[in-house]
């Protein structure tokens, strides 16, 4: 699922599952390497977590709002019913093990 500046806020406010947002760009080599791993994890965890992508070139407002200065960056949001919070962050390509660790922490 791809998010935009317009859909990110609505998604993190309404989604009950934790939300994994991959901030990426098409020209970013590590982002390209991460894409198949993130796609695999999205299928595996689809019932427990919403795994999404946000292109920072097309959606600079969200990247600026969350202080994303380097890509790939993954932020994990959790909505506890009051205000969505960032509960996980990974800057740089973490590999499958690193992304799984972020997901496991968010699902606890």
Global pTM reads: 0.94
Residue 40 CB contacts under 8 Å (≥ 6 apart), including other chains:
96
Q: Which superfamily does CATH assign the domain made up of 2-100 to?
A: Glutaredoxin (3.40.30.10)
Q: What is the pLDDT of residue 34?
A: 96
35 is catalytic: no
20: how many CB neighbours lie within 10 A of its CB? 24
Q: Which of 8, 12, 19, 31 is catalytic?
A: 31
Say whether 1 is catalytic: no
The secondary structure of 70-101 as a DSSP string is SSSEEEEEE--SSS-EEEEEEES--HHHHHHH
Does position 82 have pLDDT exceeding 90, yes or no? no
> At 101, is the pLDDT very low, low, confident or very high (cuts 50, 70, 90)?
very high
* Closest of 91, 86, 83, 82 to residue 106, by C-alpha: 86
Per-residue pLDDT reduced to its tens digit, 9-65: 999 989 999 999 999 999 999 999 999 999 999 999 999 999 999 999 999 999 999
Residues 3, 21, 28, 63: which is the catalytic one? Answer: 28
């Amino acid at each position: 699922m791809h998010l935009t500046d317009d859909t990110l806020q609505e998604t993190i406010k309404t989604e009950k599952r934790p939300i994994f947002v991959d901030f990426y760009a098409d020209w970013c080599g590590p982002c390209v390497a991460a894409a198949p791993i993130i796609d695999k994890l999205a299928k595996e965890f689809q019932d427990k977590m919403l795994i999404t992508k946000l292109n920072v070139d097309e959606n600079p407002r969200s990247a600026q709002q969350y202080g994303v200065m380097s890509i790939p960056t993954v932020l994990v949001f959790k909505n506890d019913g009051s205000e969505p919070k960032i509960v996980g962050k990974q800057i740089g390509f973490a590999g499958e093990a690193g992304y799984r660790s972020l997901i496991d922490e968010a699902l606890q």
